[in-house]
């Protein structure tokens, strides 16, 4: 239960203002079909987390702490650059591992839904009032800072 709650709260907080939430907001404002949008978020999140977990289990054995910090740092800086690009909307294992795997997948998926559900249901009401450019810049700055921190840690982990 602890793994589920940690995953739920961490992902729900981390997803606030991210690209998925911004896209959910735009889709809700455009299509006005909140349940269909949430079902799409659920399916995409499940597929994404399952693939990421399977790849992570396979590659995790080969990563040192320094390599992991460097990879996270570089990906955060990449996200910083990516966050500046506005979204557009066009018309039209081992025993016991499965137990930990399931609460984390369930927690992260629930966290994604928890973060996206409010914007889907309130999308139309707030879509015209949100400063999307400012939100992109703040998200970019946060990713840039996190990336720098992880790269700093990676350099200091190296022998």
Q: Where residue 94 falls among pLDDT bands split at 50, 70, 90?
A: very low
125, exposed or middle or buried, with CB in 10 Å at 0-12, 13-18, 19+? exposed
pLDDT at 146: 84
Q: How many domains does the chain have?
A: 1
Beta carbons of 72 and 150 less than 8 angstroms apart: yes
Instruction: Tell me the two tokens of residue 154.
Output: 């990676």
Residues 110-116, mean pLDDT to the nearest whole number: 78
Most confident segment among 10-19, 49-58, 91-100: 49-58
Dihedral in degrees, nearest 10, Cα atoms 51, 68, 106, 38: -70
DSSP letter at 16 equals T
Write the CA distances from 104 to 24, 65, 100, 135, integer angstroms. 23, 21, 6, 28
Over the stretch 29-73, which tens digit does the pLDDT of each residue have?
A: 777 778 887 887 788 788 887 887 788 788 777 878 888 788 888
For 126, the domain range is 2-157
What is the pTM assigned to this prediction? 0.49
Q: Where residue 108 falls among pLDDT bands split at 50, 70, 90?
A: low
């Amino acid at each position: 239960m602890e793994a589920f709650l940690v995953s739920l709260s961490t992902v729900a907080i981390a997803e606030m203002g991210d690209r998925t939430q911004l896209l959910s907001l735009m889709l809700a404002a455009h299509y006005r079909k909140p349940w269909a949008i949430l079902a799409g978020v659920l399916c995409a999140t499940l597929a994404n987390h399952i693939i990421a977990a399977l790849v992570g289990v396979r590659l995790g054995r080969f990563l040192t702490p320094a390599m992991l910090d460097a990879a996270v740092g570089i990906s955060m800086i990449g996200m910083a650059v990516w966050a500046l690009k506005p979204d557009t909307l066009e018309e039209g294992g081992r025993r016991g591992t499965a137990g930990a795997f399931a609460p984390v997948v369930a927690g992260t998926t629930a966290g994604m839904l928890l973060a996206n559900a409010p914007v889907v249901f309130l999308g139309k009401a707030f879509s015209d009032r949100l400063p999307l450019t400012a939100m992109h810049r703040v998200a970019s700055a946060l990713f840039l800072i996190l990336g720098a921190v992880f790269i700093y840690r990676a350099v200091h982990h190296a022998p």
